[in-house]
Amino acid sequence: MQEIDLVRHCRQGDRNAQEALFSLYADSMFRLCFRYIKSQADCEDVMIIAFTKIYSHVTGFTYSGKGSLEAWMKKIMINESLMWLRRRHNFHLMETLNESVPDQELEQFSQLSTEDIYQFITQLPTGYRTVFNLSVVEGYSHQEIALALDITESTSRTQLFKAKTQLKKMLTQEGFHYGT
């Protein structure tokens, strides 16, 4: 079934279409949630809540071509993951730096498989991992991250800097080298 057909049938409350949508996207959406939430059980809960919202709000979704459905669903999954994190993690307690934070490149990641990168990212502390995912993986600006997590842009920049620093340290410990 095509995406547009799934959307049309889900709008009509068709349980088979909802099941097909879940089957098609469950694995990728679980992995998306797991980038933010490290507990498998909590990820499953967040994903189910997000799918429930997808089903109940699909009437407001505007199909704009291949991939638009998945992008819309990802946004809902990310928002649900962030809401879960905000309820359980105080992002305001993160240390911030007052001086400007230099941008760090992670060119050495190009040598690694996606699974290796994923494993390194999941080892980061919650705050670092969340800001790293939102910035580097999802492409959010520091302003958007600050709004999503109810933190300052400075805190977002600092957490990204520290996440990249910690990732570089992990890579070095694993024998990967970068820069000159």
3-state secondary structure 105-143: CCHHHHHCCHHHHHHHHHCCCHHHHHHHHHHHHCCCCHH
Task: Name the helix (H) or strand (E) containing 51.
Answer: helix 40-57
DSSP 102: P
- List the single range of 14-23, 59-68, 132-141, 166-175 with lowest mean pLDDT: 166-175
Tokens of residue 135, six digits: 């910035």
DSSP 60: G
- Which residues fall within 8 angstroms of residue 21, CB to CB, at 6 or more apart? 6, 10, 54
CA torsion sign for 109, 117, 139, 145 is: negative
Please state the domain extents for the chain: 3-88, 94-173
pLDDT of residue 107: 54
Query: Is the CATH code 1.10.1740.10 the one for domain 3-88?
Result: yes
- The residue with tokens 């998945």 is 70
**Residue 46's pLDDT band (boundaries 50, 70, 90)?**
very high
**Residue 170's pLDDT band (boundaries 50, 70, 90)?**
confident
Query: Is the CATH code 1.10.10.10 the one for domain 94-173?
Result: yes
Task: Decide which of 177 and 1 is more confident.
Answer: 1
Cβ neighbour number for residue 32 with a 10 Å cutoff: 22
Contact 167, 121 (CB under 8 A): yes
* Residue pLDDT, tens place only, 54-103: 999 999 999 898 889 999 999 999 999 999 998 887 665 445 444 444 44
What does the mean pLDDT of the chain come to? 85
Distances (CA, A) of 175 to 134, 136, 179: 27, 23, 13
